[in-house]
Structure 1
Amino acid sequence: MVKHIVMWNLADRENAAANAAKMKEKLEGLVGVVPGLKSAWVHKSFAGYDVVLITELESREALAVYQEHPAHMEVKKFVHSVISERVFCDFDM
């Protein structure tokens, strides 16, 4: 199993809550759509970041599929339109 964690800061402070909620809906909605994506949780305000995503994937291969999956690419377009900063890490469990 692989954990994929991404943390973002949002660019538009005035609409941060709405954008965070939309990110949560879209990212968590990928479970059951992307093969190998077992779970996705989105939380607000963690470790100095506005939004954090914690996912569990079946394998490194599943992570590669997730990264290029068309549904993920659509969500990524929205996310990149509302963020100012991003950090991530992946690790095997």
Structure 2
Amino acid sequence: MIEHVVLFKFSDETTLEQKEEGMRRLLEVKDKIPGIVDIQAGNNFSDRSQGFESGLTVRFESKEALEAYGPHPAHQEVVGYLKEIGMSDVLALDFECM
């Protein structure tokens, strides 16, 4: 299994409603992209996030499924929305589950 972890920062103009909509759209890709075992997303509530406001974890069947995820049209559509609402920084980490 492969775990894909993503943290997002947004501009000051991005509303909570827009961030929640972005996370909702990310969750919807599970039914559109093959190879996703589990997906979770949400907005930060702690003071330890170093400015990152939202997070995503996606568990994939394989590295090949992760590689197919990035360019998939459903994923790219959500990325476009996140950029549109003011995504200003992103941090991603991928690892093979032990």
The TM-score, its normalising length taken from structure 2, stands at 0.86
Q: Which residue identity is paired with 1:77?
A: G
* Superposition map of 1:41-80 within 5 A: 41-45=40-44, 47-48=49-50, 49-80=52-83
SS where residue 5 of structure 1 aligns? strand
Task: Indicate if the aligned counterparts of 1:6 and 1:88 stay in contact, CA closer than 8 A.
Answer: yes
Residues 24-54 of structure 1 show CA distances to partners (whole Å, capped at 9, x for unaligned) of: 1100000121000112111211623100111
Give CA-to-partner distance per residue, 1:70-91, whole Å, 9 cap, x none. Answer: 1111111111222111111000
* Identity value in percent: 25
Q: Which secondary structure state, in structure 2, belongs to the residue aligned with residue 89 of structure 1? A: strand
For 1:80 and 1:91, locate their aligned partners in 2 and report how far apart those are by CA, in whole Å: 25
**Other-structure match for 2:6:** 6
Query: What displacement does 1:19 show?
Result: 1.6
Q: Which runs of 5+ in 1 are unaligned?
A: none
Higher share in strand: 1
Q: Please provide the CA RMSD for this pair.
A: 1.3
CA distance in 1 between counterparts of 2:22 and 2:58 reads 14
Q: Any runs of at least 4 consecutive aligned residues in structure 1 with deviations exceeding 2 A, and if so which?
A: 13-16
Does residue 64 of structure 2 align to residue 89 of structure 1?
no
Q: How many pairs does the alignment contain?
A: 92
SS of match in other structure, 1:35 = coil
Deviation at 1:64, TM superposition (A): 0.8
